[in-house]
Homo-oligomer: A and B are copies of this chain.
Amino acid sequence: MRYELYYWTGIQGRGEFVRLALEDAGADYDDVAREQGDDAIVRFLDGAHDGALPFAPPFLKAGRLVIAQTATILHHLGPPLGLVPDSESRRLYANQLQLTIGDLVAEVHDSHHPIAGGLYYEDQRVEAGRRAADLRETRLPKFLDYFEQVLERGGGRHALHEHSYVDLSLFQLMAGLDYAFPRAMQRMARELPLLHALKQRIAERPRIAAYLASPRRLAFNESGIFRHYPELDDPA
Contacts and interface: CB of A to CB of B under 8 A. Distances in A.
B114 A115 contact: yes
Contact of A89 (B65, B130, B138, B146): B65
B75 A95 contact: yes
A215 interface: no
A78 B65 CA distance: 20
A93 interface: yes
B99 A69 contact: yes
Interface residues of A, number: 39
Interface in A15-74: 47, 51-55, 65, 67-69, 71-72
Interface in A195-231: none
A72 B95 contact: yes
A45 to B, nearest CB: 9
Interface string A124-153: 000100110010001000010010011001
What is the copy number of this chain in the assembly? 2
B53 A150 contact: yes
A127 B113 CA distance: 12
Given A52-B89, A55-B146, A146-B53, A96 B118 contact: no
A53 B114 contact: no
A92 interface: yes
Given A52-B93, A119-B134, 16 more contacts: A47-B153, A53-B146, A55-B143, A67-B93, A69-B99, A71-B71, A71-B99, A72-B95, A75-B92, A75-B95, A76-B92, A106-B106, A110-B114, A114-B115, A114-B131, A116-B131
16 contacts: A47-B153, A53-B146, A53-B153, A54-B96, A55-B143, A68-B96, A72-B96, A72-B99, A75-B92, A76-B92, A103-B106, A110-B114, A116-B130, A116-B134, A118-B138, A127-B127
> Lowest 10 A-B CB distances belong to which pairs?
A116-B134, A69-B99, A52-B93, A69-B96, A72-B96, A55-B100, A72-B95, A115-B130, A114-B114, A68-B96
